[in-house]
Structure 1
């Protein structure tokens, strides 16, 4: 039997990004929404909240990308980037 995933609810993701590994550097993509999903796998139901982002003309699950790392608030990601730039300038 195969997995079946259904979106039960869409939630706003204002101010959140998906963080990806780009050859050792981190990049961020704005999230479109969070989706409450229910997956049926061999008769077992599981629910989870998953991030979704735009991929061209489609909206996809961000966590399905091979280089997906995490979800983070944009403000936190921006602060981390600024801290790294400051450390690089001091070196």
Structure 2
């Protein structure tokens, strides 16, 4: 991302999660808002709670993607079903 970015607008992100790789396992954290940012250009970035502050979700080294919570939960159910089939 650019060195200097300005947040132009934020909107709530109900039902969205940021997906991270934690020791080879995908985990999700709630996205609190999407920010329209301007720096080198314009773009939309997800933001999540990080302790007492809000941070861009994609700044973490283990960040993978942003997706709807329902889609993430569906993927988990499919993986659990695959594991049960193997037993």
With normalisation by structure 2, the TM-score equals 0.94
Task: Return 5+ residue gaps in structure 1 as ranges.
Answer: 40-44
Give the Cα separation in 2 of the matches to 1:55 and 1:12. Answer: 16
Q: Who is 2:51 aligned against?
A: 56
Computing the radius of gyration over CA atoms, which structure comes out larger, 1 or 2? Answer: 1
CA RMSD across the alignment: 1.1
Task: Return 5+ residue gaps in structure 2 as ranges.
Answer: none
Structure showing the higher strand proportion among its residues: 1
What is the number of residues matched between the two proteins? 85
Give, in angstroms, the shift of residue 3 of structure 1.
Answer: 2.0
Give the Cα separation in 2 of the matches to 1:78 and 1:38. Answer: 32
Give the Cα separation in 2 of the matches to 1:56 and 1:86. Answer: 34
Q: Who is 1:14 aligned against?
A: 14
Q: Who is 1:89 aligned against?
A: 84
Over residues 29-83 of structure 1, what are the superposed CA-to-partner deviations in whole Å (9 max), with x where a residue is unaligned?
Answer: 00000000011xxxxx311100000011110000010000000000000000010
With normalisation by structure 1, the TM-score equals 0.90
